[in-house]
Amino acid sequence: MEKQVIIFDTTLRDGEQALPASLSAREKLQIALMLERLGVDVIEAGFPVSSPGDFTSVQMIAREVKNARVCGLSRALEKDIDACGEALSVAEQFRIHTFIATSDIHVDTKLRKSQDEVVEMAIKAIQHARKYTDDVEFSCEDAGRTHIDYLCRMVEAAISAGASTVNIPDTVGYTIPSEFGGIISSLFDRVPNIDKAVISVHCHNDLGLAVANSLAAVQAGARQVECTVNGIGERAGNCSLEEIVMTLKTREQMLGLQTNIRSQEISKASKLVSQLCNMPVQANKAIVGANAFSHSSGIHQDGVLKGQNTYEIMTPESVGINKNNLNLTSRSGRHVIKHRLGELGYKSDEYDLDEVYTAFLKLADKKGQVFDYDLEALLFFNQQKHEDAYYKLTYLHATSGHNIIPSATVSLELGEKSLTKSATGNGPVDAAFNAIISAIEGHDLDIVDFKLDSKGEGADALAQVSVIVEYNHRRFNGIGLATDIVEAGVKALIFVLNNMHLADQIDQQKQKIVGV
């Protein structure tokens, strides 16, 4: 049997569905390019028919990604499949992923059709998708709760209709490993044409068993695992990419299976997804958590000093985690910064050294010493800047104290205009936000979430502020980084405003096209 396990990443589709605010097309592309560097085989870029924005982002990713197969999701409906075909047609290679529910619960309650009708819908959808590409994947939604006789019938019909990959999802995370592995084994035993397709699995984590179920399925013969970076996704999330990949890598001698993933890129991918999706990684998260390679017990520390493999079954370097070993200060030059970023895994063509170095000097003057996590935060911030930003911060002054009404003055560039506004608030951040909102009069927006986190250690760590704003019935997420909390908050809000402005421009263009 094939020893290669295909890694199908659905961070941008199933993962994004669980976010409090949608990612912008630019942010989705950034994650897609990171997934490409990671070595993901298939990138499920989105659900093209769901919205014009999703269609545009899938098309953008399909155009830019060259070394991974880009995939779009569709229901078993011709209009969905046509949207996928149109969005993906710019790609050198692509996949259409169509699905329909197969469990009695879904067929009777949601679809309200007979089993025969559902099989016929699946066959027609696959055949229609084959008009666009030979690479068609079909999913039996809620397969984990589907009667095995009907599941075998559906899988056989899907392969006969032309599906080259058939996915068996545990959509609600209901099964346990022995049960789910048994389902896959039964399919291999009972479906006569199963050798004509790749069997895939897509497991959810409602009972914390997504990775275990995926591993059981792979041991039973499945050769594609659908997963997400950091395990994000609907409800409790999906099978975690980093966990399933490192399980296969660490236990390769036992399992005899491999992936194409460049594991040294895992930490960087985890951080990028966490930042852009505003989804912090828990400290005790396997592989990428802050505590994954830390040792507190004296016995453990003594053991690791004597032999790293006493308490570490993989090295931090194997997943791209490096230790601080250079003292970076305002006296450090560009060459050192470039060298250190290279050691952290960043290529020189992935960032503007002059911009990063300028930001580094400002931070070094404030902090004294800059660490690896600071450098990565600076790099992330510079990558997030809008080159053609409409809103730009030119001045900020805020006051606050005991028995003083907090106030702030903010100067902004709005395209070619400049405005200065002052306001008061419940605190300096609220005052600064009020000043900005008064400067952009005519925009009815609501700040629905504000989160503050520290990037680094100690009192002089960088502040990271994440805000979610509701505007025109959509939610926009923004992140700001600075040593000052007020400045970080203002930068996050301005980031949101630029995304709002871009969304308004896109809507205006659509209205012109409709008008024509």
Q: CATH number, domain at 213?
A: 3.20.20.70
Structure tokens given for 421: 């506004």
Structure tokens given for 289: 């958590």
Claim to verify: residue 370 and residue 403 sit in the same structural domain: no
% of the chain with per-residue pLDDT over 90: 61
Q: Whole domain around residue 368: which residue ranges?
A: 326-384
Q: What pLDDT sits at residue 301?
A: 56
Instruction: Of 22-26, 60-64, 71-75, 184-188, give the lowest mean pLDDT range.
Output: 22-26
Q: What pLDDT sits at residue 441?
A: 79
**pLDDT tens-digit map of 252-302:** 999 999 999 999 999 999 999 998 888 899 989 999 998 888 765 556 556
Angle of the 334-343 helix axis to the 353-367 helix axis, nearest 10: 100
Higher local confidence (pLDDT), 506 or 42: 42
Cβ neighbours, 10 Å, residue 173? 22
Claim to verify: residue 162 and residue 102 sit in the same structural domain: yes
**pLDDT tens-digit map of 205-259:** 999 999 999 999 999 999 999 999 999 999 999 999 999 999 999 999 999 999 9
% of the chain with per-residue pLDDT over 70: 91
CB contact set of 456 (below 8 Å; sequence gap of 6+): 371, 373, 374, 377, 462
Angle of the 485-515 helix axis to the 428-439 helix axis, nearest 10: 30
Claim to verify: residue 479 and residue 367 sit in the same structural domain: no
User: In 192-252, which ranges are E strands?
Assistant: 198-203, 224-227
Length of the chain, in residues:
516
Q: What pLDDT sits at residue 176?
A: 98
Claim to verify: residue 361 and residue 503 sit in the same structural domain: no
Claim to verify: residue 70 and residue 195 sit in the same structural domain: yes
Does this model's pTM top 0.85? no
**pLDDT tens-digit map of 440-460:** 877 888 898 898 887 766 666
Q: What pLDDT sits at residue 514?
A: 46
Claim to verify: residue 49 and residue 162 sit in the same structural domain: yes
Report which of 61, 69, 63 is spatially closest to residue 42, judged by C-alpha positions.
69
Q: How far is the C-alpha of 509 from the C-alpha of 506, rounded, in Å?
A: 5
Claim to verify: residue 271 and residue 241 sit in the same structural domain: yes
What band does 327 get if pLDDT is binned at 50, 70 and 90? Answer: low
**pLDDT tens-digit map of 111-150:** 999 999 999 999 999 999 999 999 999 999 999 999 999 9
Q: What pLDDT sits at residue 458?
A: 63
Claim to verify: residue 44 and residue 177 sit in the same structural domain: yes
What band does 324 get if pLDDT is binned at 50, 70 and 90? Answer: very low
* 452-459 contacts at long range (C-beta below 8 A, 24 or more positions apart): 452/485, 452/488, 453/280, 455/373, 455/374, 455/377, 455/481, 456/371, 456/373, 456/374, 456/377, 457/371
Claim to verify: residue 380 and residue 236 sit in the same structural domain: no
Claim to verify: residue 407 and residue 261 sit in the same structural domain: no
Q: CATH number, domain at 475?
A: 3.30.160.270
Claim to verify: residue 159 and residue 253 sit in the same structural domain: yes
